[in-house]
Structure 1
Amino acid sequence: MTLSRAVDLTQRLLRCQSVTPNDGGALPLLADMLRDAGFTVDLVSFSGPGEAEILNLYARIGTVSPCLVFAGHTDVVPPGNPAAWRFDPFSGEIADGMIWGRGACDMKGGVAASIAAALDHLEGAGAPNGSIAFLITGDEEGPAINGTVKLLDWVMARGERFDACVLGEPTNPNALGDMMKIGRRGSLTGEIVVHGRLGHVAYPHLASNPIPPLLRILVALTDAPLDKGTSSFDASNLEVVTVDTGNPSTNVIPAEARARFNIRFNDLWTPETLRAEVQTRVDTASAGADVSLDFMPCNALAFLTGPGRFTTLVADAVEAETGLRPVLSTTGGTSDARFISAHCPVVEFGLVGRTMHAIDERVAIADIDRLTAVYGRIITSFLT
């Protein structure tokens, strides 16, 4: 069976065991391929105190505007129990018209399609009328500290700029062409601790139970909606994700009760205004209880690439190759597009994501080739 360039590269990437923070040889593989095609390529590592060193790739051909950058990641989540898979999760096995393996749709197939599209374009049209770049990280599935955000700072410090970006995350729920992402909601996580006084349940007057005030606070946080959403975004939602006292006994009033929550917020909010709203609700509901409220650092802001020339160009390319006009969506979790959006317009369009992070992750071979055609059409349209 003769494989297309994109499918062959997908298979080779799937055989790299690049579970975050390990690269497994994935980015050097891409670096060699891009250098051979005439790109200037840099493999750049970042780390911090106590943090794993993360390998990232930046490649570019051309030095002038307009510059179209393709972004993505080659790191993957752990496969779980390999024995539960139909095929070895790092084999890149091809069967039933699908290619199987951890990262097939999220997002080694998308990375392979973008690189194949660029190489096809260069072979057919020669040097680009502008520039094509790649921004590929090994830290998207991890803390996202030593990946795209630092790589962008490194690129900008060199004086380089991008005019638009396509991120190849798996955006389609059911069929290639269903959906492209033009924005994402932000994410903010916090923890509430109510401090009580330990005591015997038979002598409650000698103790102070922290659970009732915590329950009042959680009701205050969840009962009233944060907003009603916008024309581009769903309503912001606060979800309580843990409630705990650390109390193994049935006859002891606990000394404290704590809860963690996560908020997915739209562009009506900033982290600062959201923290203030939460603090107000906690203060109102705490009724004199001893309460502490802390927030984790927020590196996921809401962003939106409004409808315009670039979003239309991408949607037109998708429709031309798939026959479907993609829905412009801001749903789903966070992605590295949140970092790129500060530098240029960014949209996300990739493969079908029904099996991402799941046992037997897989993607249709035909979809990889059609995605390559979509990306090729975007390159041609953007650089013409």
Structure 2
Amino acid sequence: MTANWDVEDDELIGFVQQLVRIPSVYDTDPPHSVQSPHTEAEAAEAVAGKMREWGWDPTVEDVVPGRPNVVAVLDCGIPGPTLMFEGHTDVVSPGSHSDWSFPPYCAEIRDGRLLGRGSADMKGGLAAAMYGVRALQLQGEFPGRIVVAALCDEEGMMLGAKHFAKQPLAKEIDGVVVCEPEDYEVCAVSKGAIRLRVTVFGKMAHGAMPQHGRNPVPVAARMIVRLAELQDQLQQRNGTHEHLGDDYITTTMIQAGDLDQLNVIPARAVFLCDIRTTPAVDHDDLLFQIRQIVDETALESDCKAEADVIDDRPPVDTPIDSPVVSALVQAHVNVVGSQPAYGGVPGTTDGTILVRDAALHSVVYGPGDKWIAHQADEWVGVDDVKTCARVYAETASIFLNEAR
């Protein structure tokens, strides 16, 4: 190992605990105030406060009321590239507290594990990035710039990343490290996602006289079966990706009629699909095939139907020889003392949006078990957070000096 960074470990872990104790779950039930504990506002202010404590000058900007992005730019005035470290301040709901063996926001440390919702996904990674950059800053001047961004709404529609990608600063960034939990895997590839809503329009009628209506439910069912067949075709054609697995078209919700109106044929049926794709899938082509299935099935049943895209997030496939990936790999070697494993992100991250909307090169790497996110009894290893802070500092040093 050649890297030796002076990270303020005790402060780092204490700051992760501070963040985990903040229940920064976005509650969709209005109303919300700026100080509501059901937005990211309190966690964002904790991040901004720590940055100000270090003399940084963060910009805190509401993307929507009460849901701010926090962005700090460190610039020593020496020409060079711009590297971004990205994390998010929101967490998913803990669900039923009875499913947990400890309070979801306790932030206690037991047997080397820091416990609580958001510890791995991803307050541990966000804090590690901040303290890693702080360690680099304390070592002296560096070329180029570092952007540290704590964005809102990653767990929802990624409004924070979409907002940031539209800013002039985004066009000036040369590489992004997304600090999601990946258990030290270097993830230059991520699955794409299409969120799809299909609505089938029928004709309401009495359940005892179906001949007077057009029932959209069996039509929707036939569409779902055909979409499952399309999934099989995708998997057979594309095979299993080395890091991402298979392509999936998953129906996640069906709604038709009223449960209290058992004797009524509904006027419409709606189902939602969560589609996950590897880089082998062209989204435009796939959506064309899906709309063909929807239109043909509806026409066969004398119904109308619509397929609406709620969100379209393409797969990420950053070349492994990209400067940001190369710097991260070398940093891992220098800090950990061994070659890292390569992996893939089975879901999407804010990095997906930054690639889609700002054409940035991104790589995902952070502390925490990559499968622990959104589960009860979430935790992150204390030593892993400390190690990642050093890897981030080393990554920045390599990237900013070698990419000049």
TM-score (norm 2): 0.81
- For 2:181, the equivalent position in structure 1 comes to 170
The counterpart of 2:327, out of the listed 305, 313, 316, is 313
- For 2:143, the equivalent position in structure 1 comes to 129
Q: 1:197 to 1:163 in 2, by over 3 A?
A: closer
Letter of the 1:330 partner, please give it.
G
Superposition deviation, residue 18 in structure 1: 2.0
CA distance in 1, matches of 2:46, 2:216: 55
Work out whether 1:98 is the aligned partner of 2:113. yes
C-alpha contact 2:196 2:310 (8 A) present in aligned 1? no
Superposition deviation, residue 269 in structure 1: 4.4
Q: 1:153 to 1:212 in 2, by over 3 A?
A: closer
Q: 1:374 to 1:75 in 2, by over 3 A?
A: same
The counterpart of 1:30, out of the listed 43, 47, 58, is 47
Superposition deviation, residue 290 in structure 1: 0.6
C-alpha contact 2:244 2:346 (8 A) present in aligned 1? no
CA RMSD of the aligned region, Å? 2.8
Letter of the 1:284 partner, please give it.
E
- For 1:259, the equivalent position in structure 2 comes to 271
Letter of the 1:119 partner, please give it.
R
Q: 1:218 to 1:22 in 2, by over 3 A?
A: closer
CA distance in 2, matches of 1:232, 1:69: 24
Superposition deviation, residue 155 in structure 1: 4.3
Q: 1:366 to 1:291 in 2, by over 3 A?
A: same
C-alpha contact 1:67 1:130 (8 A) present in aligned 2? yes
- For 1:218, the equivalent position in structure 2 comes to 224
CA distance in 2, matches of 1:189, 1:299: 7
Ranges of 4+ aligned residues in structure 1 off by more than 6 Å: none
CA distance in 2, matches of 1:75, 1:118: 21
The counterpart of 2:293, out of the listed 273, 278, 281, is 281
C-alpha contact 2:178 2:351 (8 A) present in aligned 1? yes
CA distance in 2, matches of 1:216, 1:262: 17
Q: Secondary structure at the match of 1:377?
A: helix
CA distance in 2, matches of 1:201, 1:83: 42
Letter of the 1:108 partner, please give it.
K
- For 1:370, the equivalent position in structure 2 comes to 387
C-alpha contact 2:294 2:307 (8 A) present in aligned 1? no
Work out whether 1:119 is the aligned partner of 2:134. yes
CA distance in 2, matches of 1:25, 1:378: 29
Superposition deviation, residue 25 in structure 1: 2.9
- For 1:346, the equivalent position in structure 2 comes to 362
Work out whether 1:196 is the aligned partner of 2:202. yes
- For 1:59, the equivalent position in structure 2 comes to 72
The counterpart of 2:350, out of the listed 336, 349, 356, is 336
Q: Secondary structure at the match of 1:4?
A: helix
Deviates more, 1:255-264 or 1:359-368: 255-264
C-alpha contact 1:194 1:289 (8 A) present in aligned 2? no
Superposition deviation, residue 88 in structure 1: 3.3
Q: Secondary structure at the match of 1:360?
A: coil
Letter of the 1:237 partner, please give it.
Y
CA distance in 1, matches of 2:9, 2:343: 33
Superposition deviation, residue 293 in structure 1: 1.7
Superposition deviation, residue 106 in structure 1: 0.6
C-alpha contact 2:257 2:265 (8 A) present in aligned 1? no
Superposition deviation, residue 355 in structure 1: 2.9
Q: 1:85 to 1:37 in 2, by over 3 A?
A: same
C-alpha contact 1:16 1:24 (8 A) present in aligned 2? no
The counterpart of 2:313, out of the listed 293, 297, 300, is 300
Superposition deviation, residue 238 in structure 1: 0.9
Letter of the 2:306 partner, please give it.
L
| Count of residues paired in the alignment | 370
Superposition deviation, residue 150 in structure 1: 1.0
Letter of the 1:290 partner, please give it.
C
TM-score (norm 1): 0.85
- 1:199-235 residue CA offsets vs partner (Å, 9 max, x unmatched): 4566554444434433332222211323515677544
Work out whether 1:291 is the aligned partner of 2:304. yes
Instruction: Say which structure is richer in helix.
Output: 2
C-alpha contact 1:17 1:24 (8 A) present in aligned 2? no
CA distance in 1, matches of 2:272, 2:63: 30
- For 2:158, the equivalent position in structure 1 comes to 144
CA distance in 2, matches of 1:32, 1:254: 53
CA distance in 2, matches of 1:30, 1:203: 62
C-alpha contact 2:251 2:271 (8 A) present in aligned 1? yes
Q: 1:210 to 1:91 in 2, by over 3 A?
A: closer
- For 1:45, the equivalent position in structure 2 comes to 62
Identity of counterpart residues, as a percentage?
Answer: 26
CA distance in 2, matches of 1:167, 1:310: 11
Matches within 5 A, 1:178-193: 179-193=185-199
C-alpha contact 1:18 1:75 (8 A) present in aligned 2? yes
C-alpha contact 2:257 2:264 (8 A) present in aligned 1? no
- For 2:169, the equivalent position in structure 1 comes to 156
CA distance in 2, matches of 1:31, 1:280: 49
CA distance in 2, matches of 1:367, 1:89: 20
Ranges in structure 2 where 5+ consecutive residues have no aligned partner: 1-7, 27-37
Work out whether 1:241 is the aligned partner of 2:258. no
CA distance in 1, matches of 2:156, 2:207: 43
C-alpha contact 2:41 2:68 (8 A) present in aligned 1? no
